[in-house]
Amino acid sequence: MHRLRKPYLLFLGDVKDNLTAKTAFGLKDWCPQDVVGEWSLPGCGVTLGLPRMTPQEAAARGAGSIMVGIAPTGGKLPPHWVAELVAAADAGLDVVSGLHTRLTSFPELVQAASRRGVRLIDVRHGERTYGAATGRKRSGKRVLTVGTDCALGKKYTALALAKNLKGRGISASFRATGQTGIMISGEGIAIDAVIADFIAGAAEQLSPDNNPAHWDVIEGQGSLYHPAYAGVTLGLLHGSQPDAIVLCHDPSRRTIDEYPEFPIPDLRVAIDDYLRAGRLTNRAIRCVGLSINSSSLSDTECDDYFRRLRAELDLPVCDPVRTGVDAIASALLEP
């Protein structure tokens, strides 16, 4: 399991648009207390509105890591960024990346890390191996965010729910399963990089035995309806053994993103399918609400849509950004 050294300096490279910097924005939004500033190259068109500081200045202020806050197309690390990361390593910072390109593929960066005794951490490429799942029931409670598709709010929903529970005085932990979530929380397992046979086993280790009243809020990945990633979703579902699920959905989508021949399922069907699959390892699993990415809806459209879903499904309906998740948290805590 990755464990990262905080606080962070966020590196923006020389990107031109905010979407490419979504990892950095996620870190700023969800763990601002763990971020000391931002650093970028000349020509960068993005700012987070944070103090600008060099790696040396960040280290002097107590930073532990520089985070590559960029998710470029193809997940490749541009070679002309390497000199800045070498300077960060020489300043005593761990270098952390969620890209496909391994930091260790750059000899000069490896040499700098060795000189200073710092770590090069490829969040997407864990070195640890995991065994097969046991299926053993673990103590503590677990809720997993699931979706009708990928990239529609599972991470934001889990983060918002964990924050809400903690605000109520409930013992809760956000369990990250993707690279950005790991960077936000400081630890986790990039579940999509685990060998298929061991995904459920990794999920068991991600949410181990805990106090009976403690809630693990587990970040979901993929979708049961995705032709490429359903296997990751199913393994995470079985290994998490969730007591509850929250179904995440984007009403603007009619088909799986980039797979136009695969329609988005009816929400009642989706809930039933997730519960049926989840009963393999937890027969008491239940759905406690729907998290809707309502960014495509006007205020009036959103109100009408939420009202209709509540009536049809008899479940709380929220948007973690627009409305918060208070109603879902309340449903989760009901006996």
Q: Which domains are present in the chain?
A: 2-122 (3.40.50.720), 141-333 (3.40.50.300)
Question: Which tokens in the block code for residue 192?
Answer: 């999509």
Distance (Å, rounded) from C-alpha 256 to C-alpha 35? Answer: 35
Q: For residue 274, which of 205, 225, 326 has the smallest C-alpha distance?
A: 225
What does the mean pLDDT of the chain come to? Answer: 94
| The pLDDT value given to residue 74 | 66
Lowest mean pLDDT among 24-33, 259-268, 270-279, 316-325: 24-33
Mean of pLDDT values over 303-312: 98
Q: How far apart are CA 43 and CA 52, in angstroms?
A: 14
Helix axes 199-206, 230-240, angle to 10 degrees: 40
CA–CA dist 131, 171 (Å, integer): 28
DSSP H stretches of helix in 2-79: 22-30, 55-60
For residues 196-211, average pLDDT: 97
* pLDDT > 90 in the chain, percent: 85
Give SS3 for 273.
helix
Using one digit for the tens of pLDDT, what is the confidence trace for 39-71?
999 999 999 999 999 999 999 999 999 999 997
pLDDT at position 71 is 79
**Mean pLDDT over residues 93-101, rounded?**
93
Query: Which pLDDT belongs to residue 26?
Result: 87
Angstrom distance (rounded) from CA 91 to CA 102: 20
Per-residue confidence band for 263, with pLDDT thresholds at 50, 70 and 90? very high
pTM of the model: 0.86
Q: State how far the Cα of 272 lies from the Cα of 277, in Å rounded to an integer.
A: 9
